Amino acid sequence: MKVAIVSGGQAPSKEFLQQYRDWYIIAADSGVHCLLEAGIDPQQVIGDLDSIDSQDLKILEDKGIKIKSFPKEKDETDTHLCLLEAIRLQAESIHILACFGRRFDQTLAHLALLEIAHDYKITCSLVDQENKVEFLSPGKYQVSKDGYQYLSLVPVTESITVSLYHMKYPLERENLYRKKSQGISNEILDQEGTIKLHKGKAYLIHSNDKKR
What pTM, to 2 d.p., does this model score? 0.93
Question: HSE of 164 in the Cβ direction (CA atoms, 13 Å)?
Answer: 21
- Sheet strands side by side (includes 150-155): 66-69, 44-47, 24-28, 2-6, 93-97, 123-127, 131-136, 202-207, 150-155
The CA–CA distances, whole Å, from 121 to 5, 84, 107, 116, 135 equal 17, 13, 22, 9, 11
Q: What is the pLDDT of residues 38-90, one digit of tens each?
A: 999 999 999 998 888 889 988 999 999 999 999 988 899 999 999 999 999 99
Residues 4 and 209: their CA atoms lie apart, in Å, by 24
Q: What is the pLDDT of residues 126-169, one digit of tens each?
A: 999 999 999 999 999 999 998 999 999 999 999 999 999 999 99
**C-beta neighbour count of 198 within 10 angstroms:** 14
**Surface-to-core class of residue 19, CB atoms within 10 Å of its CB (0-12 exposed, 13-18 middle, 19+ buried):** exposed
